[in-house]
Homo-oligomer: A and B are copies of this chain.
Amino acid sequence: MPDPDLRRELRALPETDPAIDRLVEQIIGRVADKWTMLLIEILTEHDCCRFGELARLCPGISQKMLTQTLRALECDGLVTRTVYPVVPPRVEYRLTDLGLGLAKAFCGVWLWAEANRERIEAARAAYAAGRDPVTPPGS
């Protein structure tokens, strides 16, 4: 039986105007994205990055998604984009305070995932083992 105190604590949260909720959900949906999270983490560690640096630090991201994700972050006020009018072009990205606040908020989830990784893996193994969609051979 799940801990009733924790549950009560969660329910006591400042819930919540339904109209506001929709907006908050939208923000969550925009921010709870693979590349967004990785870029925020990278920018937390390297407080100032050029476009190419980010591409190198974020293995596997395509240039399209990098641009797209950075634009969204800039639009939401989570990163600043500074263009230096030189040639060749130099553009620097940096987390704002707002972005840094999000990074901190997401730490909780990150830490939870790390702390409970083994339990989750165990649960998955049990789940996979527990279902026999087909009769095992050897009858």
Q: Inside 8 A of A25's CB, which chain B residues have their CB?
A: 34, 37-38
State which of B11, B98, B110 has its C-beta within 8 Å of the C-beta of A45.
Answer: B11
Residues of chain A in range 65-107 having any CB-CB distance to chain B below 8 Å: 74-77, 82-85, 94-107
DSSP class of A's interface residues: helix, strand, loop or mixed?
helix
Rounded to whole angstroms, the CA-CA distance of A13 and B113 in the bound complex is 13
Cβ-closest chain B residue relative to A27:
B113
Cβ of A125 to closest chain B Cβ, rounded Å: 10
How many residues of chain A have a CB within 8 Å of chain B? 71
Q: 0/1 per residue, A3-36, Cβ < 8 Å to B?
A: 1001101110111100010011101110111100
Q: Inside 8 A of A135's CB, which chain B residues have their CB?
A: 82-85
Q: A45-B11, A104-B10, A120-B76 are in contact. Are A109 and B112 (CB under 8 A)?
A: no
5 contacts between A and B (CB under 8 A): A2-B95, A20-B114, A25-B37, A27-B117, A32-B37
